[in-house]
Homo-oligomer: A and B are copies of this chain.
């Protein structure tokens, strides 16, 4: 029995639009689910932090014509589901998505949220199937990056290869920030600071969260009630101003301090106690 066998995951077997879209990518004639209305990488303001980040204009064009197609997702629509065959990576162009798994007891575990400029489905490369499901939290646009095309292109364009690995690394880094043994308060503070750094305008301290309290709580391993209470406490402490999904961070330094400095998104040079 080859070593690979032991890594197989337990799949839910759902057919989805995304699986079809994945198929589509390998057979470019079939254009179902692939909308033509799309932003060019060369004019996308997120390009610097996305895959074409390190490319010259020429390379970006090559990249674009080689791999990029775009898919529109309505709020609540699935991009792929656990068990779908893996054919493409995805990049969020606008909007935001949630990756989650449902365990055998029926509990939902939110693996990660993905905002504009972020790469999705890296965890599917290993097994060749998506271990998690991905759903749009708001109306979103997602760039489809057929994996085979992407890797062969990466061979031609070293800067692209470099960027793919960087984004894989970022994914691992980001995940580890909340994985530690932190209190509910610390996790929430970390989350807020990280989201602030990852949103479209990272200078802004205004967050418009796309996810429900339930999703946030699942991600942070909290009950939604606890989340609500801690947020209320933060507000009393003057750290934030929370109005439903609109949250204003009043004291970023205070939050970062609560976050126990484990988050890799911490703004550089903004710390209260540099020591």
Interface residues of A (CB under 8 A from B): 1-10, 48-49, 101, 103-105, 107, 109, 111, 122-127, 131-132, 151-152, 154-155, 158, 161-162, 164-173, 175-176, 178-181, 197, 202-203, 218, 221-222, 260-262, 264-268, 271
- With both beta carbons as reference points, the residue of chain B lying nearest to A124 in the complex is identified as B169
Measured in the bound complex, the distance between the Cα atoms of B101 and A162 in whole Å is 26
Asked if residues A123 and B169 are in contact (CB atoms below 8 Å), the reply is yes
Name the B residues within 8 Å of A155 (CB-CB).
155, 158, 161
Asked if residues B264 and A202 are in contact (CB atoms below 8 Å), the reply is no
Name the B residues within 8 Å of A109 (CB-CB).
179-181, 262
Measured in the bound complex, the distance between the Cα atoms of B151 and A271 in whole Å is 35
Name the B residues within 8 Å of A6 (CB-CB).
197, 202, 265, 267-268
A3 in contact with B122 given A109-B262, A168-B165 (CB within 8 Å):
no
Most interface-central of A122, A181, A265 (chain B CB within 10 A): A181
Asked if residues A126 and B170 are in contact (CB atoms below 8 Å), the reply is yes
Enumerate the 8 nearest inter-chain pairs by beta-carbon distance, A residue then B residue, closest first. A109-B180, A125-B169, A126-B169, A8-B268, A181-B221, A168-B168, A104-B261, A6-B197
CB distance from A89 to the nearest CB of B (A): 10
Asked if residues B261 and A7 are in contact (CB atoms below 8 Å), the reply is no
Measured in the bound complex, the distance between the Cα atoms of B180 and A19 in whole Å is 25
Asked if residues A264 and B122 are in contact (CB atoms below 8 Å), the reply is no
18 residue pairs bridging A and B, Cβ less than 8 Å apart: A2-B48, A3-B49, A7-B264, A10-B266, A10-B271, A103-B261, A103-B262, A105-B260, A107-B181, A109-B262, A111-B179, A122-B172, A123-B173, A126-B166, A155-B158, A164-B165, A171-B172, A175-B176
